[in-house]
Amino acid sequence: MLIGDINFVALARLPKTMTNDEQDTILIEDNTRVREWDVDQNFDGWRLDKFLENRIGNISRTYAGEIAKHGDVEVHPPRKIKAGTFLREGDRVVVREHLDPEWVQDPQVDVLHRDDAIIVLNKPAGMLIHEIGPTRLNTIEKFLERQGWDEAQPGHRLDKETSGVVVCAACDETKHAVHQLFKDRKVDKTYRALVLDDQERWIPGREETLDTPLGQDNDSLLRHKVGQGDTRAVTHVKVLGRIDGPDGPMADLEIDLETGRQHQIRAHLALEGTPIAGDKLYSKSDRFFQAISDYPDRQELKERLAFDRQALHAWRIAFPHPESGDTVEFEAPLPDIWQRD
């Protein structure tokens, strides 16, 4: 347990290091997560270890005490730091978590459009929108900061392993307007997906609507897995063609969402018996997902997937420009996995 420089594992597992094999990535050595809290009247008189246990979460009081004694912790106004330091209303507590160096995919991000109101990006698979767990730097949010666009902010989410169009507010003045576009469902999004389909469920030219209600998959070991449920979900599918993939026949689908449920496209296609190729969660068993989550670099597990990412791509997007009101459309080029011989 390295607490002197605070790599405290109770807060985050160590980053899974990305290899730099022929992909454009950059290693950032300085990787410090800073957390700051103001002590209000609710915490007046609390011990520092109890306060850290409450604010950090998912750690024991004993571990919080170790952080207080040996970690990179400050209390302002300055005074001697120990587990039993008593806090007063108006104090500020700062904790610095020193993480391992992290590879970032900045060179793989394409800027599709930029004006005073919006920035439209093509996100690579493998990059998050916001930081979570051990991943702090390889995110669209941090990418915007590294470009010097300090006021820019992503307007919506996209799964880590999904590539494609991401719309960002370019400045503070348009953040609300951009978020409201997505909240009010004024954005038309079209996806592309390659699905495993050895039974020829999807015939070129066919158009179909999937409307199985969705919810938590109660038969799964995994709490975040989606299956048949009670929430309305509508997915429109158009079959563009068929491809011979590394795991057998695949169908190339164009997908429009009428609703926007969590994992909607992935779950609907899996329920049809045609999961998205490379989808670790929906194309294999729960045990497989747990194994590859714990051992992402294990070759025998990776070889069981059609691709090293899920073949889902946010292809096109259209929405009223937050300033002019005119409809604008953007398209992110298809990734190389669509280019099959």
Residue in 253, 265, 245 with CA at minimum distance from that of residue 306: 245
Enumerate residues 6+ apart whose C-beta is below 8 A from 339.
none
Nearest Cα to 98, choosing from 138, 129, 71?
A: 71
| Sequence-separated (6 or more) residues with CB below 8 Å from residue 285 | none
**Longest C-alpha distance within the chain, in Å?**
72
Token pair of 35 as six digits: 């957390």
Q: In DSSP terms, which residues pair with 249 in a beta bridge? A: 244
Question: Residue 289 corresponds to which amino acid?
Answer: F
Burial class (CB in 10 A: 0-12, 13-18, 19+), 59: buried
CB environment 31-48: b (16+ within 10 A), e (fewer): bebeeebebeeebeebbb
Please confirm, yes or no, whether 294 is among the known catalytic residues. Answer: no
**CB of 85 within 8 A of CB of 79?**
yes
On whether the CB atoms of residues 159 and 261 are closer than 8 A, the answer is no
11: which 2 tokens? 């807060």
Which of 146, 200, 154 is CA-nearest to residue 174?
A: 154
Which residue in the list 91, 106, 159, 217 is annotated as catalytic?
A: 159
With tokens 């809290």, the residue in question is 37
Helix (H/G/I), strand (E/B), else coil: 181: helix
Rounded CA gap, 106 and 143, in Å?
A: 6
CA-CA distance, 198 to 191, in Å (whole number)? 22
How far is 204 from 192, CA to CA, in rounded Å?
Answer: 14
Contact in structure between 266 and 276 (CB atoms under 8 Å)? yes
| Residues annotated as part of the active site | 159
